[in-house]
Amino acid sequence: MIGFSSFQLIRYWLAHGILDQSRVHGNMELEDIRELYFKDLWARSFFQNVIDYDTFYIFDMHDLIHDLVQSVAQGEFFTVVKSANTKDISENVRHLTFLEDGQNVSTTLQKLNKVRTIVAWQTEIDESIMCTCFSRFKYLRVVCLPRCSLQVLSSSIGSLKHLRYLNLSMNKAITKIPNAICRLQSLQTLTLFGCENLEELPRDISKLISLKSLSLTTKQTSFTENGMGGLKSLQLLIIFKFSNLTSLPHETSYLASLRTLWIEQCKQLDLGNVNYQGTLLRLQKLCIINLPRMVVALPEWFQGAANTLQVLLIDTCENLEALPEWLASFTSLKKLVIGVRTTFPNPREGIV
């Protein structure tokens, strides 16, 4: 069995243009379309052992299905290891996975020019290799480099105008993201989850006009004006383990399209320290976990989601005394989860 999360899988679909919003589904929201696709494949037994974690699914793909996929896409996938035989590598390779770094990597890259996906998981990748990839593969759509001990991200990544998915999660040595990534006008997913030493977000992040999903950890105490708060296309926002953050963005533009908000382990964050009252929200899923500064009651501005909120999860908020009476007016609420859950899934395993 091979394990996956629905969040990552669906973001790959989006990055490679597999989910077509306009051709078949009319005016359906993309969030609803992706759920439709996933559940259809689930019903057809492509996925097994599916576990619903309120905002995403964890599931297995049977080895036979995995082997079938690789057979159908023969020649499009290649895994880079030190012992890999690169003599017979197909020029049609579109998806590269790095399991090891080695001397033959540069030789391998020189034979390819159609690569669309680069994945390295818990693999130390030399910065020069990434620079080569960014300069050679101009049509990259997915760059996934979690836990790769990255210290520096080359500014040459700003030339990848087709890039839609960038995952740098759990690279704890990285302190700065080059402002060049703000030139990525097609970027839909940016994951900086668990980058605990990242000083701040790039100054021009509001220029990422296509960004729909943002997961982040930084050391900043507040969000700058005309920064993250100006991301008008954002549908999912995860704010995780901000040790110094005291307030959400004061601009409300980022709330316009937001469907899922996940806030966890932000010891100084006061959710009431913003003037969002009267703002109409489209939130469907709201997760609040381990926020000691959320005192007594939920913020009043949550009432803006009274007609849309479907899932509300509150965990390890020790100072929360009671739920507000106005929660009874939430007509779309389907699931309410409250309490300390020691078995709660680590979001880095499923969400990012």
User: 345: pLDDT confidence band, cut at 50, 70 and 90?
Assistant: very low
Residues 50 and 83 in one domain: no
Does 227 fall in a domain?
no
Does 224 fall in a domain?
no
User: Measuring CA to CA, how many Å separate 213 from each of 150, 203, 236, 303, 348?
Assistant: 22, 18, 5, 23, 14
Measured over the CA atoms of residue 281, residue 52, residue 193 and residue 62, the dihedral's sign is negative
Provide the number of structural domains found in the chain.
Answer: 3
Residue 240 phi, psi (nearest 5):
-130, 130
User: 188: pLDDT confidence band, cut at 50, 70 and 90?
Assistant: very high
The amino acid at residue 252 is T
Say if residue 344's pLDDT is above 80. no
Contact present, 49 and 1 (Cβ < 8 Å): yes
What average pLDDT is seen over the chain?
86
* pLDDT tens-place string over residues 34-90: 888 899 999 998 899 999 887 789 999 888 888 888 888 888 888 877 666 666 678
Does 228 fall in a domain?
no
Does 238 fall in a domain?
yes
Burial of 84 (0-12, 13-18, 19+ CB in 10 A): middle
Contact present, 140 and 162 (Cβ < 8 Å): yes
Domain limits for position 339: 233-352
* pLDDT tens-place string over residues 223-276: 877 688 889 999 999 999 999 999 999 888 899 999 999 999 999 999 988 888
- The Cα–Cα gap between 245 and 287 comes to 17
Place of tokens 């605990």: 196
Spatial neighbors of 228 by CB under 8 A, at least 6 apart, are: 201, 205, 206, 214, 249, 254
Residues 307 and 176 in one domain: no
Contact present, 149 and 171 (Cβ < 8 Å): yes
What's the pLDDT at 199? Answer: 94
Does 249 fall in a domain?
yes
Residues 266 and 342 in one domain: yes
The amino acid at residue 31 is E
Residues 126 and 174 in one domain: yes
Residues 97 and 67 in one domain: no
> Which CATH number belongs to the domain containing residue 20 in this structure?
1.10.10
Contact present, 166 and 190 (Cβ < 8 Å): yes
Say if residue 348's pLDDT is above 80. no
Domain boundary among 164, 190, 219: 219
- The Cα–Cα gap between 281 and 304 comes to 5
